[in-house]
Chain A
Amino acid sequence: MLKINNLHATVAGKKVLDGLTLDVPAGQVHAIMGPNGSGKSTLAYVLAGRPGYEVTAGSVSFKDQDLLTLAPEARAQAGVFLGFQYPVEIPGVNNVYLLKAAFNAARKHRGESEVDAFEFLELVRIKMRLMQMDEAFLSRGVNEGFSGGEKKRNEILQMLVLEPALAVLDETDSGLDIDALKIVAQGVNTLRSPERSMILVTHYQRLLDYIKPDQVHVLARGKIIRSGGSELALELEARGYDWLTQV
């Protein structure tokens, strides 16, 4: 699904990714952990194509196509979803309006007809029940006045509706209480399927109690320095990162 090979990237002239290699096969969930400033969010933004994140070397292939040559919106339409660490507020734009525009953009890209407002509402309602979100969410401005937890839930709702092939969730667990964490995890687990891959960027092992990853990677100084099974996360929780980064 996703093959990252020797990826180098800079932000504002500063080298952040320094030869990162990662392979996420279809159907797998990978967790990326690591100390602050190690390049985790940068990796997420580079995959999504955020302007200002410059790839200087390496390659990324997604479903056997060169991801880096695609425009950011084309990546999204092809099935790359980024769950933002800090979802931005867009006052005046209805949540449901943005969601429907995104949904139809992807359908159009696949050569399918756009769905109308009624059909779409039906679909969203089902997903909202899963996320235990009130329908009043739909008519509010995008993330406008949402609490931190509501914003994160909204990200997962969008993911459930868009059903991406690759979801990169950037610290979706931070700022969540335990109940919200469970709901978010349930949303993620619902989407797990053999055709879909996920990357969870996280600081805490506790998310992985609810979403069991196939692999855990440690990212430090712009590259993967250790990979392992879910037991690696437990070890990191107990020992921190120093024993790895000081090698």
Chain B
Amino acid sequence: MSDNAQLEALVSRGYAHGFVTEIESDSLPPGLDEDTVRNISRIKNEPQFLTDWRLRAFRHWQTMREPEWAHVRPHPVDYQALSYYSAPKIKTDGPKSLADVDPKLLETYAKLGVPLHERARLAGVAVDAVFDSVSVATTFKDRLEKAGVIFCSFSDAVQKHPALLEKYLGTVVPQADNFYACLNSAVFSDGSFVYIPKGVRCPMELSTYFRINAANTGQFERTLIIADEGSHVSYLEGCTAPMRDENQLHAAVVELVAENDAQIKYSTVQNWYPGDENGIGGIYNFVTKRGECRGRNSRISWTQVETGSAITWKYPSCVLKGENSVGEFYSVALANNYQQADTGTKMIHIGPNTRSTIVSKGISAGHGQNTYRGLVKILPTAHGARNFTQCDSLLMGTQCGAHTFPYVEIKNSTATLEHEASTSRISEDQLFYCIQRGISAEDAVNMIVNGFCKSVFKELPMEFAVEAQNLLAVSLEGAVG
């Protein structure tokens, strides 16, 4: 077998998280109108301001159209055929502690390797787990509360911290920002909420695990993280879904706010079901993530490893308002089989001496199409702004594609921008060199791909970096063989 054939065969073992949990759930019937929105709000016992907020979003959404500028080709989504709320059935209003959580759910998370119980303590990671539409458990609440950190489900935050919510909700990603964000604003069901008070360094990594289980549901979670003056937080997010033949919609919104001298590090390992090797099924991951560096010397850092989803459409961005604020984006995106990824970032420089770094590594294999799309915008007020962008693409096989669309808008002549880009492929020479040293083709490809991604992986928290490497290896199985 030629090296090339080996390469093409090394990208396809199974999707390990594709199981379905048989669990009773309360779901709204399919369909979307104002009553659906009101129903969600009522189920969640929301204050009037939030119901009104949702309805405003819904009314505006009806005037919008799906964006068509991305280099992706989704099948049409029938928004009336989706159910907008699905929750595992529970005896009471919601799980008050882990003991109230359905053991089947805990089993699911155990299968996924999410540390809900004692393992959480060992791992030192506080986890909020979102199953379909609701948050099922948040670990480590007490310890975090002692530090003054609020880490809870979005629904809890609605009940307990409505003032904070009203102050910040939708201030980074406005309702009308885009089609999917607007839909999310109308029908979001749960998500995570984090508030780090002034001067507090969050004592542990915070983590959310998202899982879509029910069929024909969309998942619309919303995450809001506020880092008050001088505070620090590192937040991790992981995602999985069962294998189904239909495409499922995931349209999330994440908003980050960093005040003066605050730092937020947001890491994602996205492993939604990518569809089978013929491109049937898989998640449509249409996500809006944006952080605002409001205060001076603030820093927001996005790190993402995107291996899953049939289609990924996401651009975690930074709005650099505060003087000397810093935005970072480190990304590894893999498109294997028939996956399509259109991902990148926007760095909007508003304040003086703002700096941003973009490192994007795209891997294309099989028939995968991988697009980097980025915008660096320097406004007239951003004196001395700097950006460094590096976009590298790695191709495996002959059927895949890599595309790069870097947009630059500069309205201040004192800005400094650097852009580096490369496209390469794993060569037969590289592969044979490793094989001749006794390393299997599969290990060799993983080694070379990991080498390619190294500058991004080193930005991930340690345990996550290992998980990301393994995930990449699994996602590339069959790409060489």
Contacts and interface: CB of A to CB of B under 8 A. Distances in A.
Given A51-B2, A90-B451, A93-B448, A105 B438 contact: yes
A77 B440 CA distance: 10
Interface in A70-104: 72-73, 76-77, 81-82, 84, 87-94, 97-99, 101-102
A87 B441 contact: no
A76 B444 CA distance: 14
Q: Which of A82, A89, A97, A142 neighbours the largest number of chain B CB atoms within 10 Å of its CB? A: A142
B439 to A, nearest CB: 5
A52 interface: yes
Interface of B, helix, strand, loop or mixed by DSSP:
helix
A105 B443 CA distance: 10
B363 to A, nearest CB: 12
A90 B433 contact: yes
A72 B428 CA distance: 13
A102 B451 contact: no
B211 to A, nearest CB: 33
B131 interface: no
Contact of A87 (B433, B438, B455): B433
B432 A51 contact: yes
A92 B439 contact: no
A72 B431 CA distance: 11
Nearest to B1: A51
Nearest to B437: A102
A102 B439 contact: yes
Interface in B417-449: 427-430, 432-441, 443, 447-448
A73 B433 contact: no
Given A51-B2, A97-B447, A141-B451, A88 B440 contact: no
Contact of B435 (A73, A90, A91): A73
A119 B455 CA distance: 27
A88 B429 contact: yes
Contacts of A97: 447
Chain A residues touching B, range:
20 to 34
A184 interface: no
Given A51-B2, A90-B451, A98 B435 contact: no
B436 A82 contact: yes
Contact of B438 (A73, A84, A88, A141): A73
B104 to A, nearest CB: 39
Contacts of B432: 50-51, 72
Interface in B1-24: 1-3, 6
A52 B3 CA distance: 9
Contact of B451 (A72, A81, A93, A109): A93
Q: Which of B1, B451, B452, B453 neighbours the largest number of chain A CB atoms within 10 Å of its CB? A: B451
Contacts of A92: 448, 450-455
A158 interface: yes
B435 A72 contact: yes
A88 B427 contact: yes
Contacts of B447: 90, 93, 97-98, 101
Nearest to A106: B438
A73 B441 contact: yes
A162 interface: yes
A73 B454 CA distance: 25
A76 B2 contact: no
B437 A98 contact: yes
Contacts of A99: 437
Nearest to B434: A98
A73 B1 contact: no
A93 B453 CA distance: 10
A124 to B, nearest CB: 14
Contacts of B441: 73
A105 B436 CA distance: 11
Contacts of B452: 91-92
A15 B443 CA distance: 33
Nearest to B4: A51
Given A98-B447, A141-B451, A76 B436 contact: yes
B393 to A, nearest CB: 13
A142 B448 CA distance: 10
A12 B432 CA distance: 17
A48 B451 contact: no
Contacts of A73: 435-436, 438-441
A50 B438 CA distance: 13
A79 B435 CA distance: 13
A76 B451 contact: no
A114 to B, nearest CB: 13
Nearest to A141: B451
Contacts of B430: 88-90
Q: Which of A52, A77, A99, A101 neighbours the largest number of chain B CB atoms within 10 Å of its CB? A: A101
Interface string A28-62: 00000000000000000000101110000000000
A52 B437 contact: no
A102 B438 contact: yes
Nearest to B455: A92
Contacts of A81: 436
Contacts of B438: 73, 76-77, 102, 105-106, 109, 162
Q: Which of B439, B450, B453, B454 neighbours the largest number of chain A CB atoms within 10 Å of its CB? A: B439
Nearest to B443: A101
B436 A48 contact: yes
A82 B436 CA distance: 7
Closest 6 CB pairs of A and B: A92-B451, A93-B451, A102-B437, A76-B438, A105-B438, A88-B429
Given A51-B1, A105-B443, 10 more contacts: A51-B432, A72-B435, A76-B436, A88-B430, A88-B433, A90-B448, A92-B448, A93-B447, A98-B434, A98-B437
26 contacts: A50-B432, A51-B2, A51-B6, A72-B432, A73-B436, A73-B439, A73-B441, A81-B436, A84-B433, A87-B433, A88-B427, A90-B430, A90-B434, A90-B447, A91-B452, A92-B454, A92-B455, A98-B437, A101-B439, A101-B447, A102-B437, A105-B438, A109-B438, A141-B451, A162-B437, A162-B438
